[in-house]
C-alpha cells in the first residue's frame, strides 16, 4: 500500500470546521471554506492595520491561512470540490 492509499482524506467541510475554530481567524466570517475570500479579507486587513497589535493579529491570520492552504493541498480530496 502506498502513502496515498493510507493517507487521511479531508473534505472542504472539514476545512471549514478547522477555520471556524482557528482563533487567528475569529475576526473573519468563515461560513464556508472560500480560500480566495478569506485571503482577500486578511490582505485587506493588512492594508488597514495601523497599530502593532493589529499587524500582529493579521500576521497570525496569514499564518493560519498558510497552514490551511497546506492542509488543503495535501489532504483534501480534489474531487470533493
What is the residue-averaged pLDDT of the chain? 88
Rounded mean pLDDT, 10-27:
92
Higher-pLDDT residue of 38 and 78 is: 38
Structural domain includes residue 2: no
Provide the pLDDT for residue 80: 42
Separation between Cα atoms, residue 46 and residue 64, nearest integer Å: 14
pLDDT tens digits, one per residue of 42-51: 999 999 999 9
Structural domain includes residue 33: yes
pLDDT tens digits, one per residue of 24-39: 999 998 788 889 999 9
- Inform me whether the pLDDT recorded for 61 exceeds 70: yes
- Decide: helix, strand or coil at residue 76: strand
Structural domain includes residue 81: no
Structural domain includes residue 63: yes
Domain extent for 14: 8-76
Amino acid at each position: 500500500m502506498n502513502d496515498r492509499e493510507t493517507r487521511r482524506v479531508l473534505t472542504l467541510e472539514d476545512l471549514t470546521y478547522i477555520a471556524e475554530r482557528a482563533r487567528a481567524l475569529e475576526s473573519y466570517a468563515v461560513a464556508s471554506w472560500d480560500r480566495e475570500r478569506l485571503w482577500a479579507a486578511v490582505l485587506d486587513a493588512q492594508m488597514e492595520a495601523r497599530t502593532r497589535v493589529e499587524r500582529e493579529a493579521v500576521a497570525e491570520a496569514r499564518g493560519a491561512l498558510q497552514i490551511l492552504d497546506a492542509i488543503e493541498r495535501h489532504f483534501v480530496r480534489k474531487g470533493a470540490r
